[in-house]
Chain A
Amino acid sequence: MNTFPWLLTMIAVPAVGAAVVAALPRGRDESAKRAALGVSLLVLLLAVLATVAFDAGGERFQLTTSVSWIPDFGVDFALGVDGIALVMLLLIGVLVPVVVLASWRDEPTGHRSMKTFFAWLLLLESLMVGVFAATDVFLFYVFFEAMLVPMYFLIGSFGGPRRQYAAVKFFLYSLVGGLVMLAAVIGLYVVSANELGEGTFAFDALRQVEIDPGVQKLLFLGFFVAFAIKAPLVPFHTWLPDSGAEAPIGGAVLLVGVLDKVGTFGFLRYCLPLFPDASRDLAPYVLTLAVAGILYAALLAMGQSDLKRWVSYTSIAHFGFIALGIFAFTTEAGTGAVLYMVNHGIATGLLFLVVGMLIARGGSRQIGDYGGVAAQAPLLAGAFLVACLAALALPGTNSFVSEFLVLVGSFPTRPVFTVLATVGIILAALYALLVYQRTMHGPPRGVLLEPSPETSAPTAGAGGGATATTLEAPAAAPARLRVRDLSRRELAVAAPMVALIIALGVYPQPLIDLIEPAVAATMSDVGADPAGVSPQAPVEGTD
């Protein structure tokens, strides 16, 4: 079973699918949607099967495929996954079908055909799989950059009013980061050539190379900048709110849910193992950025008036937690961080999707334009609440597990940073519940309000509101909301996400078992005890 090229297939299938969808004649949107859905579900199936074929206890990289690609550069088309990459593939497999379903009835800007949208989406999926599956640094870089193009078109062609600005900003930010990384990639190659005689890009070979600390720092920074922009860490973050706000919901979900994870994934896969000394020396600075990001972005999130910008800022805060977990150099925190990547993808994915459904109803992104929705769309409100609770990492939701692991794992080695980060969970509660209250609670108001107040018998949803308002609320507004609650399709979008949030919140161990070995290996690369911070670990309070 392991001889089957799972990863290659997972890259090829969506790519071919994209070509097919793109080749469909104009106006055949329906079939385009079905095709896209089918392909993405197939990829999900492949991901699951690959997980089955994967042996958590086995050697680091499995399901490997490798063919020589550009011998002159010593580049191989080498694929392979460890637990970390595998769970990301699973995440992709889950998110893309959901996104396809969510974009089903979008009326995109202009008279653009949905088929282009789905074609780009599938191409993006293929490249995302590639970026996580690559075990050759050059190949990784190629996917890393190529990934920009479909996302650029998704934002630019199907985005909101300021999509041009957002798209270019997104592209340039990532490109700058990528180019700096390119310098480091080449440098790495040259160093390896000097060390091993024969230059190579193969991850495993590079891990063996002893690099002089000074050079390490330079190369580390090269990679770090690229990943810090992707992830994004404060102060490299300002592109995300614009892109997140202007991107179509589907694009936004994948952007924040998966694309940005490449940054944190890169920290873990490349920065730590390849430049252990530099990582250790620079960790305090990275942690400072991370914690600053947690608090700074949380406060900013509270100040947002635009729903999608709000979600983006919450994500920035969460990326701070992930970075903290990675650079705390303990197996617990590292595992937590990887788990966090997955959980954040699901949780924020749901948040974006629900916000999208709300915007689809109200046609406005302003928080102030909504109010009292819960009275009439209990399901919508419920889904939103679950998403918010996951955002504030309430126990029982998946995010709690990862956040707890990150914090409990970071505390022994980095107490000060961890305490500060823990304060962030108060802010998380604030920004999540503030917006939930403004949009869902209170008397009906905002764009969803019917202009002509009518006094029909309250529906079941609003009835409680009726009694309550007539009894307690001063001068209950006669005007009523008229909000469609979730349609079947929207339910099909939200339900699996909610289910995953709760399931992974109650029984995360299987994922942890997948992730831990790879994280432990990484941690031993940076000289941390892979067995985790043993009890009575000497607490270095010097950070």
Chain B
Amino acid sequence: MDTAPADGLITSAWLLIALPLAGAAVLLLGGRRTDRWGHLLGTGTVVAAFVLGLLCTLQLDGRRLDVELFTFMATGSLDVQAGLLFDPLSAVFVLLITGVGALIHVYSIGYMAHDPRRRRFFAYLNLFVAAMLLLVLGDNFVALYVGWEGVGLASYLLIAFWHERPSAATAAKKAFIMNRVGDVGLALAIFLMFAQLGTVAYDGVFGAVGTLAGGTVTAIGLLLLLGACGKSGQFPLQAWLPDAMEGPTPVSALIHAATMVTAGVYLIARCAPIYDETPTARAVVLAVGAITLMIGAIAGCAQDDIKKVLAYSTVSQIGYMFLAVGLGPVGYVAGLAHLLTHGFFKAGLFLGAGSVMHAMNDEVDMRRFGGLASRMKVTFVTFGLGYLALIGFPFLSGFYTKDAIIEAAFDRGDGWGYLLGGVAILAAGLTAFYMTRLMLMTFFGRPRWEPGVHPHESPSVMTAPMVLLAVGSVLAGFLLVVAFPLEAWLTPVFGEPEAAEHVVAPLVVSILVTVVMALGVLTAWLFVGRREVPVTAPVRVSAVTRAARRALYADAVNESLFMRPGQWLTRALVFVDNRGVDGAVNGLAATLGGSSSRLGRTQTGFVRSYALSMLGGAVVVAGALLAVTAG
């Protein structure tokens, strides 16, 4: 796989990043005077980027094109060029980001209409899009890292958009910090590459990775994985993602469902050449994926906050993707396909949730919903389609992509394969359960609204994107797997797919999955649908439920393992620094002063004592001299 210099329109691929960045700059620097048209500009830049991206993609036909921009930093043997790599993989992401991004921008026009800080909101959104595009377009790891932390910043700003709310501010900080933990892994991986290969460019690294010792490659792979876990909310760094729902709902849709959180998957797919060299690291990726998808699914079953449910669902869906890419060549495409479809239906679901909250005065507790189907038809339908797509209802997008992953898992053929496949299927059942529960609690049953709440359908500027995404959720799977196979499109990146001989016939898998899914739906109906939903969450519940509600105690663990000891350590060190280090110095000064005044006492003022001291001195001097000469 070799890169050619870019040509034609693609030479201006940098505009993809520049446009939204310029938008952000204008909106931030322009201040109040851009308030009136700020949102339009913000949306415009992303739409423009989408169009450009589309055109570039059409010109691409399977090449890997490099856009050299300028020297970022070059000293000694380190040479970091600011350059873009436009290849099928990045093209896919460009389209996802700008496409879904554009829709969500449009949606936000309506959603944030009443917020006086809407302009800044769009600025941040643009900033995010720019950073995300840099992340997927950069042609070296440093560029990736810059985009990587750039999206982190944007996410921080957007989660904390309503920073008057302490919860929002805290959630934003938590997200940033936990991402930083991952970033350390990514950074160390880069250092290791430079130390071993003397380069940080994709081509250089991927070209030479074969020459490295196995241990080193594994180390690099694991460090990269750490970074991926941080960004994608995977175990053990998953705890920040649900809290991130403190941000405005469009943010949750764009950043914490469709695009940013899937960066980890992108990273691993992009680094396929590295992971191909190290089965160990791949195994860890698999484990992480499997664990996370269970955690997410279990936690999702017990949440009452509609956005939290979707958040945990995201966590578990990304778990699927990790599982896929962890499977190696057979899984990359499946994972990416799921990533794309997930991008559609999860974004749609979030937008739907947003529309519901919009109607319910930003109420998020599903126990306060109910019977909204009649009041909000468009939302209900679009949301419903997204729901079906997510649980993998036959022939909707989720069905295709999820099955592909599960098949790939089984295709490993060994015991692990069956285990992973089983887990995946089980999770599919759980997914069906919690999503159905969500549907029932939200749209069906008797209204349990707060007094004074008058649900109403959202304006068309909001519903239009929902409709489009719903369409996407329905068709995407079919299109990407059957009509225009993503596999073919990505061949230049991942090479020819070897025809996998299936250990379990795909049909069997599909049926199995569908049955389990049906079971999930059924149980949900039995538990939630049949009886009245209590307005306040029941207190006396099984340990399992309690654990699920608290997301298997992830936060508790983090607190007791890191936060508390950290705070204690800090307090201790402050004491040490003041009393110990500084105290030593001041102590020395005090000692000098004390000895000074004590010595001063010898200056009694009596002539005779002075004379005595002189005589003593004389004797000492004489003695000393004699000693010297004698000895």
| Chain A residues within 8 Å of B, Cβ to Cβ | 234-235, 237-238, 296, 299-300, 302-304, 330-332, 335-336, 372, 374-375, 378, 382, 389, 394-396, 400-401, 404-405, 407-409, 411-412, 415, 418-419, 422-423, 425-426, 429-430, 433-434, 437, 440-444, 458, 460, 463-469, 471-473, 476, 507-509, 512, 515-516, 519-520, 530-537, 539
What distance in Å separates the Cβ of A212 from its nearest Cβ neighbour in chain B? 30
Cα–Cα distance between A198 and B75 once the two chains are bound (Å):
39
Cα–Cα distance between A395 and B150 once the two chains are bound (Å):
7
Complex partner residue of B177 from A430, A464, A467, A469, CB under 8 angstroms: A430
In the complex, the answer to whether B75 meets A299 with C-beta atoms within 8 Å is no
In the complex, the answer to whether B116 meets A460 with C-beta atoms within 8 Å is yes
In the complex, the answer to whether B191 meets A411 with C-beta atoms within 8 Å is yes
Cα–Cα distance between A509 and B569 once the two chains are bound (Å):
40
What distance in Å separates the Cβ of B70 from its nearest Cβ neighbour in chain A? 7
In the complex, the answer to whether A395 meets B149 with C-beta atoms within 8 Å is yes
In the complex, the answer to whether A468 meets B165 with C-beta atoms within 8 Å is yes
What number of residue pairs across chains A and B have CB atoms under 8 A from each other?
195
CB nearest to A330 among chain B residues:
B76
In the complex, the answer to whether B162 meets A331 with C-beta atoms within 8 Å is no
Chosen A-B contacts, 16 in total, with CB atoms closer than 8 Å, are: A299-B569, A331-B77, A332-B78, A335-B76, A374-B163, A375-B163, A394-B149, A396-B149, A409-B78, A415-B195, A425-B183, A437-B169, A441-B169, A464-B115, A473-B165, A530-B76
In the complex, the answer to whether B72 meets A472 with C-beta atoms within 8 Å is no
CB nearest to A539 among chain B residues:
B195
Q: Across the interface, which residues of B come within 8 angstroms of A443, CB to CB? A: 164, 166
B176: interface (CB < 8 Å): yes
In the complex, the answer to whether A467 meets B76 with C-beta atoms within 8 Å is no
What distance in Å separates the Cβ of B369 from its nearest Cβ neighbour in chain A? 17
In the complex, the answer to whether B573 meets A303 with C-beta atoms within 8 Å is yes
Cα–Cα distance between A467 and B161 once the two chains are bound (Å):
12
In the complex, the answer to whether A303 meets B571 with C-beta atoms within 8 Å is yes
Q: If the complex has contacts A331-B76, A409-B76, A422-B187, are A537 and B166 also in contact, measured as CB distance less than 8 A?
A: no
In the complex, the answer to whether A238 meets B577 with C-beta atoms within 8 Å is yes
In the complex, the answer to whether B173 meets A437 with C-beta atoms within 8 Å is yes
Complex partner residue of B160 from A415, A441, A444, A467, CB under 8 angstroms: A441
Q: Across the interface, which residues of B come within 8 angstroms of A374, CB to CB? A: 163
Query: What 6 additional pairs, Cβ within 8 angstroms, besides A238-B585, A303-B570?
Result: A302-B570, A422-B187, A441-B160, A441-B164, A532-B76, A535-B199
Cα–Cα distance between A299 and B567 once the two chains are bound (Å):
9
Q: Across the interface, which residues of B come within 8 angstroms of A378, CB to CB? A: 120
In the complex, the answer to whether B73 meets A405 with C-beta atoms within 8 Å is yes
- Greatest chain B CB density within 10 A among A330, A394, A407, A460 is at A394
Cα–Cα distance between A442 and B117 once the two chains are bound (Å):
16
Q: Across the interface, which residues of A come within 8 angstroms of B71, CB to CB? A: 509
What distance in Å separates the Cβ of A499 from its nearest Cβ neighbour in chain B? 11
- Greatest chain A CB density within 10 A among B35, B166, B170 is at B166
Chain B binding surface, main DSSP class: helix
In the complex, the answer to whether A426 meets B195 with C-beta atoms within 8 Å is no
CB nearest to A393 among chain B residues:
B149
Cα–Cα distance between A299 and B70 once the two chains are bound (Å):
38
Cα–Cα distance between A536 and B199 once the two chains are bound (Å):
10
Number of interface residues of B (CB under 8 A): 66
Complex partner residue of A473 from B32, B164, B184, CB under 8 angstroms: B164
Q: If the complex has contacts A331-B75, A535-B77, are A411 and B194 also in contact, measured as CB distance less than 8 A?
A: yes
In the complex, the answer to whether B142 meets A404 with C-beta atoms within 8 Å is yes
In the complex, the answer to whether B146 meets A396 with C-beta atoms within 8 Å is yes
Cα–Cα distance between A411 and B573 once the two chains are bound (Å):
28
Q: Across the interface, which residues of B come within 8 angstroms of A401, CB to CB? A: 73
In the complex, the answer to whether A429 meets B180 with C-beta atoms within 8 Å is yes
What distance in Å separates the Cβ of A336 from its nearest Cβ neighbour in chain B? 8
Cα–Cα distance between A537 and B116 once the two chains are bound (Å):
56
CB nearest to A389 among chain B residues:
B153
Cα–Cα distance between A535 and B194 once the two chains are bound (Å):
7
Which residues of B95-132 have CB atoms within 8 Å of chain A's CB atoms?
114-117, 120
Q: Across the interface, which residues of A come within 8 angstroms of B210, CB to CB? A: none
Q: Across the interface, which residues of A come within 8 angstroms of B190, CB to CB? A: 408
CB nearest to B32 among chain A residues:
A460
In the complex, the answer to whether B166 meets A442 with C-beta atoms within 8 Å is yes
In the complex, the answer to whether B180 meets A440 with C-beta atoms within 8 Å is no
Q: Across the interface, which residues of B come within 8 angstroms of A519, CB to CB? A: 75
- Greatest chain B CB density within 10 A among A304, A404, A507 is at A404
Q: Across the interface, which residues of A come within 8 angstroms of B70, CB to CB? A: 507, 509
CB nearest to A459 among chain B residues:
B116
CB nearest to B204 among chain A residues:
A535
Cα–Cα distance between A314 and B66 once the two chains are bound (Å):
40
B574: interface (CB < 8 Å): yes
Q: Across the interface, which residues of B come within 8 angstroms of A335, CB to CB? A: 75-76
Q: Across the interface, which residues of B come within 8 angstroms of A426, CB to CB? A: 177, 180-181, 184
Q: Across the interface, which residues of A come within 8 angstroms of B173, CB to CB? A: 433-434, 437
In the complex, the answer to whether A425 meets B184 with C-beta atoms within 8 Å is yes
In the complex, the answer to whether A395 meets B145 with C-beta atoms within 8 Å is yes
Interface string of B554-582 (1 = CB under 8 A from A): 00000000000010011101100100011
- Greatest chain B CB density within 10 A among A299, A429, A458 is at A429
Q: Across the interface, which residues of B come within 8 angstroms of A532, CB to CB? A: 75-78
In the complex, the answer to whether A472 meets B165 with C-beta atoms within 8 Å is yes
B198: interface (CB < 8 Å): yes
Cα–Cα distance between A519 and B75 once the two chains are bound (Å):
10
Complex partner residue of B198 from A299, A336, A419, A534, CB under 8 angstroms: A534
Complex partner residue of A433 from B77, B146, B177, CB under 8 angstroms: B177
- Greatest chain A CB density within 10 A among B76, B149, B153 is at B76
5 residue pairs, one from A and one from B, having the closest CB atoms:
A532-B76, A535-B198, A463-B116, A331-B76, A532-B77
B59: interface (CB < 8 Å): no
In the complex, the answer to whether B146 meets A395 with C-beta atoms within 8 Å is yes
What distance in Å separates the Cβ of B572 from its nearest Cβ neighbour in chain A? 9
Cα–Cα distance between A165 and B188 once the two chains are bound (Å):
43
What distance in Å separates the Cβ of A7 from its nearest Cβ neighbour in chain B? 26
What distance in Å separates the Cβ of B155 from its nearest Cβ neighbour in chain A? 13
Q: Across the interface, which residues of A come within 8 angstroms of B183, CB to CB? A: 425
B362: interface (CB < 8 Å): yes
In the complex, the answer to whether A407 meets B187 with C-beta atoms within 8 Å is yes
In the complex, the answer to whether B73 meets A469 with C-beta atoms within 8 Å is no
In the complex, the answer to whether A300 meets B573 with C-beta atoms within 8 Å is yes
